[in-house]
Structure 1
């Protein structure tokens, strides 16, 4: 049985996934914002920037939350992941409620930017996971001759 101490030392792919996704986001958010400005004007640009920003914040909070869950007890991983997900959804609903009455908000630009940024983030997570180093059996001790 694994202990929380051995899990905390185990390598997690989440760091690599966050780093790669943030790097891709640093490139994609300005491109998305520029595209929205060209297609929808100033309100579209602001809406796209907020939509992409909300998507990035959503995934960063989830990634950091999962990093904390992975470092904890193995028996609590699924419950911890559910708590992180519910927390993300509550925050997302709060953002939507705040922005609901904004007259300047261009809903199409906001939604398009959020969807595009979500796809960019997913690509970043897959690439980051594949490039990340993870221990498959962190509790196994190799012989000293190896």
Structure 2
């Protein structure tokens, strides 16, 4: 009986599960705190910031999964950087579009996005570290004479 590591697990699904649930708890807390501190406009800003940020990070993982390349480190890094750049451009467009919005509190929006980003990133890294991915190729079986067993 040999102990085989869990290499068949999808690292993106593991990271999504590990980050989504803890981050989901940030939204209601942020909306309640914003409503207490700044009223309805702040609560709306916090709710919108939460929705945009959690969608932003979850879609990033889905895109990374579709691009594949988890087995090739260089392709994975290139696609990860491309997805990150796309996310930053998307966030910049959202911030520019909401810059002059008088119907929401920009401070509550920004603080909520920052809180969601920190919680998401921390739990995504924790989930990835706990996913037990191989850092080397599994050894091939060899015969008694040292040659490969067929």
TMscore range, shorter length: 0.7 to 0.9
Distance in 2 between residues matched to 1:138 and 1:52, nearest whole Å = 40
Conserved 8 A contact 1:10-1:138: no
Aligned equivalent of 2:120? 121
Tell me which of 17, 27, 30 is aligned to 1:29.
Answer: 27
Relative to its length, the structure with more helix (as a share) is 1
Distance in 2 between residues matched to 1:134 and 1:18, nearest whole Å = 16
The aligned length equals: 136
Report the CA distance between 1:121 and its aligned residue. Answer: 0.8
Residues 23 and 110 of structure 1: CA distance in aligned 2, closer, same or farther (over 3 Å): same
**TM-score scaled to structure 2, two decimals?**
0.76
Structure 1, unmatched stretches of 5+, are 1-8
Residues 11 and 103 of structure 1: CA distance in aligned 2, closer, same or farther (over 3 Å): same
**TM-score scaled to structure 1, two decimals?**
0.78
Name the structure, 1 or 2, with higher relative contact order (CA <8 Å, separation 6+).
Answer: 1
Task: Report Cα offsets for 1:86-144 as digits up to 9, x if no partner.
Answer: 2112211221122122111211111111111111112211221233232334564457x
Tell which structure's C-alpha radius of gyration is larger. 2
Structure 2, unmatched stretches of 5+, are 1-6, 143-150
